[in-house]
């Protein structure tokens, strides 16, 4: 059954400092993707023509210079099928802009709600995409690989316990959000969050 865009379908429990932690992770994601954002997104321009000119002289592929970015923005086809990298550049620009906007939306929700963040149906996609992007980028850090199927070694897991724990936390939130949304869709209604403002930081 379809849900109302304003239905609350998940609640992020950010008590015990988790809200601040997620907010800082989202800020970090925005900083990570900033170098590949088109100039029209990152700077003010006098008019649309100036913005277009700035974008025209920008090559996002030149800024894929670390493992997080290469994991988030992989080349979609082999070089021989995209010799001038135009397709890759276009993909990076579009995906980075969308990712940035979604991350900002999640950050705004956290800032507005505080420790307990009700996530509405209209916000679900932004949350899923942002949590997924965070998990992908930090998975690359853990494994030191931009391959989506890279498995961390025992030494990597032991040497980066906080990162491994954070990845498990992100995976849990993604799974919980998906499960809760499915339950709401089956019920045809959102969650009853009456009294949510009375939750304490116990």
Domain ranges of the chain: 8-36+93-193
| Residue stretches of the chain with pLDDT short of 50 | 202
Strand partners, 116: 13
Query: Which pLDDT score, from 0 to 100, does residue 114 have?
Result: 86
Query: Which pLDDT score, from 0 to 100, does residue 46 have?
Result: 58
Question: What is the reported pTM?
Answer: 0.90
**Distance separating alpha carbons of residues 118 and 191, to the nearest angstrom:** 9
Q: H or E element: which one contains 180? A: helix 161-187
């Amino acid at each position: 059954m379809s849900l109302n865009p304003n239905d609350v379908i998940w609640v992020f429990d950010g008590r015990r400092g988790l809200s601040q932690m997620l907010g800082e992770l989202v800020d970090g994601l925005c900083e990570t993707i900033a170098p590949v954002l088109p100039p029209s997104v990152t700077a003010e321009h006098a008019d649309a023509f100036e913005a277009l000119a700035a974008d025209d002289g920008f090559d996002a592929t030149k800024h894929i210079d670390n493992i997080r970015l290469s994991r988030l923005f992989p080349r979609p086809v082999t070089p021989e099928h995209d010799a001038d990298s135009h397709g890759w550049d276009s993909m990076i620009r579009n995906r980075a802009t969308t990712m940035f906007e979604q991350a900002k939306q999640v950050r705004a929700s956290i800032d507005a709600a505080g420790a307990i963040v009700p996530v509405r149906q209209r916000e679900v996609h932004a949350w899923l995409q942002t949590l997924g992007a965070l998990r992908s980028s930090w998975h690359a850090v853990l494994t030191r690989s931009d391959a989506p199927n890279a498995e961390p070694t025992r030494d990597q897991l032991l040497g980066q316990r906080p990162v491994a724990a954070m990845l498990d936390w992100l995976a849990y939130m993604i799974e919980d959000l998906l499960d809760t949304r499915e339950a709401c869709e089956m019920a045809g209604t959102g969650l009853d969050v009456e009294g949510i403002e009375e939750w304490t930081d116990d």
